[in-house]
Structure formats: C-alpha cells, structure tokens
Amino acid sequence: MEKVLLHPIGETDYSKAWNFQEEIFQKLVDAKVQARKNPESFEKQNTLHHLISCTHPHVYTLGKSGKESHLLADEKLLAEKGASFYKINRGGDITYHGPGQLVLYPILDLECFFTDIHKYLRLLEESIILTLAEYQIKAERYPGYTGVWLDANDPNKARKICAMGVRCSRWVTMHGLAFNISPNLDYFKLIVPCGIDDKQVTSMERELGYKPDFKSVEEKVIHHFARLFSCEILQAEKEILIHP
C-alpha cells in the first residue's frame, strides 16, 4: 500500500502553496531521474507521495491552455474585490479559488499506482461524487468535460460543483481539484469558468440550503481519496507544512 503524506495547510496564499507544490514535485521528479541514471547506486525504497489540502484567499488562476479574455475584470476591479490573478502551468482554462472552497493538490508518482492520466482524473472526480452522495446530492460526470457536475444529463440545468486541472510530468502529478463547499459564488461572475460560458457554477451550500461543516466534508473527501487510490494517509508534522 502506497503512503501519502497529508499537508493540511489551511488558508494559504496561492503563490506560497504553488511554491510548496513545486518544491515537492521537483524532488519527486529529480529522485526518479537519478534512480534511472544510476539504478545500481540507488537504494530502492517506497516512494512517499503527498496530498496538500487547503483554501486560498480570493484568486483567479489561468491554465496554460486558457484564454486571458475569460477573466472579465481589470486590475482595478480585482483590487476592489481583494482578488489576485496568476497564469500557471496546469492544464485547463480559468478558475476561481476562495474561502469556503476545498482545494486538494495530490503530488503522486502515478507509476506506483497506474500509468493512466484519464483514470487518475476519474478517481479524483469519484472522490467528490462519493462525498456528495453522503449528503444526498447526486453528482455526475459531464461527457466531454472534466470535473463534477449536477444534473449533467440536462444541458439546461447542468452546473459544476468541482473544477479540476492537473499537470503531469514523468508520471508525477501536481495541481488538482477545487470543490465548492460554501464559497461566495458571486466571484465566479468575473470569469468564464473553465472557459464554459453556458453553464452555471454551484456549491454544496446552495444545493443543501445550509452551510455544511467544512472540516467534515474535507475529511470525507480525503477518506474516499485514500480508498480509491488504495493508499495510507499519514499526517505531516505541522512545522514542516509550509515555508515562511
């Protein structure tokens, strides 16, 4: 069973969390490269994978395949909304992160699990689908799109509750998913979410009519993640979670 170190870093500035991801990601990639160059001198050991769990202050991020025109706000409006903007190296288009939204960044060496990026994405989606089912919310996949949707079989009602965007190099992953538990959905009005201009965005709070306990939802998602990936979740020591 693979071991995954959980980093529950709470509300963290986007750039700081991104740097933390990059640091872990690069160490895993470098270790793989070194092992393949010098297999005789590399002591075989179990790979330690990572899962960062956090929220961010208001921020918009644009993936490498996205269009900057999908940000519908100028610098002045972003400042008024207390939001920042980053162009980043994940796949996908533009999305929003903010308080009340659970963000998970799995940094896994998929060669220890399976070498199938589509399967990886589907399992991430499934962790959210199973969590929502515990709240009697029927969630699904929308053919042709990533992420998790409600009423996916009705184009007029389909709405996204979880967005996804990942990067994978040498089968090591980074970036991940953003699950709307109870964010301020008005912030999505300043973008064309994920480049899709004819679908709505929703949250657990909107669907349930009340704000669910954030920590409980987070624990459920991580539980389903561990079961789906057949891994053991280990808790990181607080002092090594993130650098100043």
Rg of the chain in Å (alpha carbons): 18
Q: pLDDT digit string (tens) for 44-55?
A: 455 789 999 999
Q: Give the contacts of 118 (CB within 8 A, at least 6 positions apart).
A: none
Number of domains in the chain: 1
State the catalytic residue, choosing from 54, 162, 194, 231: 194
List the domain range (segments joined by +) for residue 199: 2-240
CA–CA distance, 178 with 181 (Å, rounded to integer): 9
The predicted pLDDT at position 44 comes to 47
Estimate to the nearest angstrom the gap between the alpha carbon of 10 and the chain centroid: 14
Estimate to the nearest angstrom the gap between the alpha carbon of 236 and the chain centroid: 19
CA angle 80, 84, 89 (to 5 degrees): 160
pLDDT for residue 42 is more than 50? no
Q: Is 112 a catalytic residue?
A: no
Tokens encoding 193? 């979410």
In the predicted model, what is the mean pLDDT of residues 49-68?
93
In the predicted model, what is the mean pLDDT of residues 125-129?
98
Q: pLDDT digit string (tens) for 149-183?
A: 999 989 889 999 999 999 999 999 999 999 999 99
**What CATH number is attached to the domain comprising 183?**
3.30.930.10
